[in-house]
C-alpha cells in the first residue's frame, strides 16, 4: 500500500513538472529524438529535453517510417492536465506551422 501511494504521488509530481516545462512550448515546433518505435502500433517513443513522450501513429506523417536515432521536428499541440491525449503532431499542425513563415 505504501509503495503504491508513493508511486502515485511520484507520477503526479512528474506530470506537474512536465506541464510546467512544456507550457511555454505549446503551439511550437521542437526537436525530438526517436528512441523506439513499437512494432505492433508504430507509435514512437521520443525524447525531448531528456523526457520521454509518445507520438502516436495517427499524428505521424502518412507514409513516414521512423527509426531509433532519427531526430525529427514535432509540434506541441497542447498541454493537458490529465496527459491522456496526444500532445504532439508531425502531421497537420507541423505542416501549417512550417508554412506560415512563407
Q: How far is CA 100 from CA 31, 89, 93, in A?
A: 18, 16, 11
- Predicted confidence (pLDDT) at residue 70 exceeds the cutoff of 90: yes
What confidence tier does 96 reach under pLDDT thresholds 50, 70, 90?
low
Of residues 87 and 78, the one with the higher pLDDT is 78
- Long-range residue pairs from 7-16, CB within 8 A, at least 24 positions apart, any chain: 15/81, 15/83
Among residues 68, 69, 75, which one has the least CA distance to residue 99? 75
Mean pLDDT computed over 18-42? 87
Q: Which of 15-24, 27-36, 82-91 has the highest mean pLDDT?
A: 27-36
Q: Where are the alpha helices (DSSP H) in the chain?
A: 2-22, 92-99
Q: What is the mean pLDDT of the chain?
A: 79
Amino acid at each position: 500500500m505504501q509503495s503504491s501511494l508513493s508511486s502515485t504521488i511520484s507520477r503526479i509530481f512528474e506530470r506537474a513538472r512536465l506541464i510546467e516545462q512544456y507550457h511555454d512550448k505549446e503551439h511550437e515546433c521542437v526537436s525530438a529524438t526517436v528512441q523506439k518505435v513499437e512494432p505492433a502500433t508504430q507509435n514512437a517513443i521520443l525524447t525531448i529535453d531528456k523526457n520521454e513522450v509518445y507520438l502516436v501513429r495517427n499524428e505521424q506523417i502518412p507514409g513516414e517510417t521512423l527509426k531509433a536515432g532519427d531526430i525529427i521536428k514535432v509540434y506541441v499541440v497542447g498541454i493537458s492536465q490529465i496527459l491522456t491525449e496526444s500532445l504532439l503532431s508531425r502531421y497537420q499542425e507541423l505542416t501549417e506551422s512550417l508554412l506560415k513563415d512563407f
